[in-house]
Chains A and B, each alone.
Chain A
Amino acid sequence: MIKLSIKSFLIASAFAAVLGASPARAAIDWSSVPAKDVVLFYPGQSSFEWVMTPTDHEGADKFRGGKNCHQCHNGDEKSMGDLLVSGKKNEPSPIGGKPGSVDAKVKVAHDDTNLYVRLEFAEGSQPNAGMDKAAATKVTMMLNDGKVPEATRAGCWAMCHDDASSMPSGGSATRTKYLNKTRAQLSRQGGGDALKPASDLAALRADGYSLEYWQARLNPGSAAVAVNGSIFDKREEVKPTEVSVDASNAGGTWTVTFTRKLNAGAGFKEIVAGKPYTVGFAIHAGHTAKRFHYVSFEHTLALDAGDADFVATKQ
């Protein structure tokens, strides 16, 4: 009995310690933080190169001329998602019964130490695609501090290339996400494996030309797994993670909160007031992987004040 009590105490202490490492729970009164509606839609095989090609994408010239995705397509997400998930356009292997979009309510806040990003969404009735056995749902956020102009313009499409795995020109390649300038040349089929010289890549890295991603791997009834990493010439997970995740599922609605230090050290983007950031969100629902996800357009983020879609105020 005593042994059991001590064991219970130790478990409870450890659990409390874990909770303590996740400051989001204690620090933020989310009821006072305004939410912004973000629609994530099914993109199919619409790659960055597809976006840039006038014979594929009618808005390509407008995009090349300076219009961002969101500027032209804000409000079109649901209809685009329904079209693409149906297999009528840019999706040769549609998943039957999969919804075309997911509505999320997104809140952001910060304190002296951390940035908090909270997504609340119901993924609806999702068929089990069986692609990712380990996670029923994955929520990912891309962060750009303005160093990747393609991501400022096109959000997550900046790293979604035509020759990535499961994309039209991917063939049997296992290629993951990558950024334009790491490749020697880009064509309609993507950039392939030919990288720029090492000195050029080193210069790009030194200039901060990379994206950061935060990911929550979720299964109902289980603790969320937090992952983070970067996108440069490929997607690379960074360990140990500097991101923590607090997630819960109530009646089919996920509430997922990312917490990351404003200054997480070398290799991470410093999040400071007065600097514009771009974020993009993705949700893999129904045990999906790769392109079979929902994606948001690019959204701007600022700390404390600024002309941005999300302004994280201090709590």
Chain B
Amino acid sequence: MLRCFINWLRGNLRAVFFAGAFIVVGVVLSAAYGTAVQYTNTLNFCAHTCHEMENTVYQEYSHSKHFKNEFGVVVACPQCHVPQNDWIHTMGHKILAMFELWDHWTGRVGTNEKFEAHRLELAKGVWKGFEETNARECKHCHAYSNMVLDDQRPSIRAQHTDAMKTDENCLDCHKGLVHKPVQQEASPAPASFDLQ
């Protein structure tokens, strides 16, 4: 039996070599991808790799409840901004994220002033992503079905009771929770003050 197998290997040496090489390259690429994702999915990478993030959105985030809270739980940037437990979407996100390097190299948002000039446009891009996934990353941790409504303030309870009926996008109410709230700047001036 063993002799047969050895003879088969000898007869298909080239195929065996390519198959082995394919597996090794696959493992190496997979490990490289996993390592790259792991490395870039850290607070340290997001917050401190480029000054554009460090000087602006990180500063806001570091004062938010997602960074400092009574429980000591840190919700790092990727947990909100990178698809969780979703290989395909994570890879797509990482590929698209590389285009953001263009902004870094060209200096389009290279200073705080430039960043502020583009903040609303950048925020709209992020909100669009959350809208497309119906706040999938929020709901990865915050499940409507697990909320103990009786423990919430009456006003909050009323909001969540309504929101869960339609599985509402969390950002419909919670824009600007972690970063500088600019959602009001996105609203057009009202044309009418009559209540319908």
List chain A positions with a Cβ less than 8 A from chain B.
Answer: 48-49, 52-56, 58, 60-62, 64, 71-76, 149-150, 153-154, 180-181, 186-188
- In residues 173-196 of chain B, which contact A (Cβ within 8 Å)? 173, 181, 183-185, 187-190, 192-196
A71 to B160, CA, bound (A): 11
What is the distance, in angstroms, from A282's C-beta to the closest C-beta of chain B?
Answer: 21
Residues in A whose Cβ lies below 8 Å from that of B183: 58
Check if A55 sits within 8 Å of B193, measured CB to CB: no
Check if B190 sits within 8 Å of A54, measured CB to CB: yes
A181 to B155, CA, bound (A): 30
List chain B positions with a Cβ less than 8 A from chain A.
Answer: 153-156, 158-159, 173, 181, 183-185, 187-190, 192-196
Interface of B is mostly: loop
Check if A54 sits within 8 Å of B187, measured CB to CB: yes
- Indicate whether A75 sits within 8 Å of B153 (C-beta atoms), given known contacts A58-B183, A149-B195: yes
What is the distance, in angstroms, from B76's C-beta to the closest C-beta of chain A?
Answer: 26
What is the distance, in angstroms, from B181's C-beta to the closest C-beta of chain A?
Answer: 8
Q: Which of A54, A62, A71, A75 contacts B184 (CB 8 A)?
A: A54
A186 to B153, CA, bound (A): 35
Q: Which of B158, B192, B195 contacts A153 (CB 8 A)?
A: B195
8 further interface pairs, Cβ-Cβ under 8 Å (given A74-B155, A180-B195): A54-B190, A64-B196, A72-B155, A74-B154, A74-B158, A180-B194, A186-B192, A186-B193
Interface of A is mostly: helix
Residues in B whose Cβ lies below 8 Å from that of A181: 194
Check if A55 sits within 8 Å of B184, measured CB to CB: yes
What is the distance, in angstroms, from B195's C-beta to the closest C-beta of chain A?
Answer: 5
Residues in A whose Cβ lies below 8 Å from that of B195: 52, 64, 149-150, 153-154, 180
Check if B194 sits within 8 Å of A71, measured CB to CB: no
Check if B190 sits within 8 Å of A71, measured CB to CB: no
Check if B158 sits within 8 Å of A72, measured CB to CB: yes
A292 to B194, CA, bound (A): 26
Q: Which residue, B156, B183, B189, B195, has most C-beta atoms of chain A within 10 A? A: B195
A64 to B195, CA, bound (A): 7
Across chains A and B, the number of contacting residue pairs, with CB separation under 8 Å, is 55
Check if B153 sits within 8 Å of A55, measured CB to CB: no
A-B contact pairs, 19 of them (CB 8 A): A52-B190, A52-B193, A53-B190, A54-B190, A55-B187, A56-B184, A58-B181, A62-B173, A64-B190, A64-B196, A74-B154, A76-B153, A153-B195, A154-B195, A180-B194, A181-B194, A186-B194, A187-B193, A188-B193
Specify the chain B residue showing the minimal Cβ separation from A150: B195
A60 to B193, CA, bound (A): 11
- Indicate whether A72 sits within 8 Å of B159 (C-beta atoms), given known contacts A150-B195, A180-B195: yes
Check if A55 sits within 8 Å of B158, measured CB to CB: no
Residues in B whose Cβ lies below 8 Å from that of A73: 155
Specify the chain A residue showing the minimal Cβ separation from B158: A71
Specify the chain B residue showing the minimal Cβ separation from A58: B184
Residues in B whose Cβ lies below 8 Å from that of A76: 153, 155
Q: Which residue, B181, B188, B194, has most C-beta atoms of chain A within 10 A? A: B194
Specify the chain A residue showing the minimal Cβ separation from B156: A75
Residues in A whose Cβ lies below 8 Å from that of B184: 54-56, 58
Check if A55 sits within 8 Å of B185, measured CB to CB: yes
A257 to B155, CA, bound (A): 29
Residues in A whose Cβ lies below 8 Å from that of B193: 48-49, 52, 180, 186-188
A149 to B194, CA, bound (A): 10
Residues in A whose Cβ lies below 8 Å from that of B173: 62
Residues in B whose Cβ lies below 8 Å from that of A53: 189-190
What is the distance, in angstroms, from A311's C-beta to the closest C-beta of chain B?
Answer: 20
A153 to B194, CA, bound (A): 12
Residues in B whose Cβ lies below 8 Å from that of A74: 154-155, 158
What is the distance, in angstroms, from B158's C-beta to the closest C-beta of chain A?
Answer: 6
What is the distance, in angstroms, from B178's C-beta to the closest C-beta of chain A?
Answer: 15
A62 to B172, CA, bound (A): 10
Specify the chain B residue showing the minimal Cβ separation from A52: B193
Residues in B whose Cβ lies below 8 Å from that of A187: 193
A52 to B190, CA, bound (A): 8
